[in-house]
Amino acid sequence: MENKEDAIIRFSVSLQQNLLDELDNRIIKNGYSSRSELVRDMIRERLVEDSWSRADSEDKGLIVAVVVLIYDHHQRELNQRMIDIQHESHISILCTTHVHLDAHNCLETIILRGKPADIMHLHLEIGGLKGVKFSKLTKASSFESNT
């Protein structure tokens, strides 16, 4: 017996030609195998964005996110400042991964859980430190707390 969440439902969408052309260009550019695959990803992305907005406006709900950083590990006291920011935040740091890219650069991922505004603040604070060359926040998901 098929789970309702796993069932594939077909529906049609009417688009202007220029939008369909742009959709097809994105399929080719991003390596999607079909229009359906691209549309599913676009819908998922929008649902995550909406869950972030809802959690922020309702002042409840915890969000999961990933911060990716590339930085110069020779920058004086940068590592300690990054750690201090994480410890002083109101966010749960679930996991960090540190990779040495070359003699000067490190890549670090930080997996976070917390309120959207707090996560955005942490991302901007760390991303603005001297020696950070790249900083990207990926909004991943939300979930309801059991408390």
Helix (H, G, I), strand (E, B) or coil at 58: coil
Packing angle of the helix pair 35-57, 116-127 (nearest 10 deg) = 100
Structure tokens at 146: 């059991």
φ/ψ region of 68 (left if φ > 0, alpha if ψ in -120 to 50, else beta) reads beta
90 annotated to bind ligand: no
95 annotated to bind ligand: no
Q: How many residues does the chain have?
A: 147
Distance from CA of residue 12 to its chain's centroid? 30
Closest to 57 (Cα-Cα) out of 133, 101, 122, 116: 116
123 annotated to bind ligand: no
74 annotated to bind ligand: no
Q: What residue numbers does the annotated binding site for Ni(2+) cover?
A: 87, 98, 100, 106
Residues at the binding site are 87, 98, 100, 106
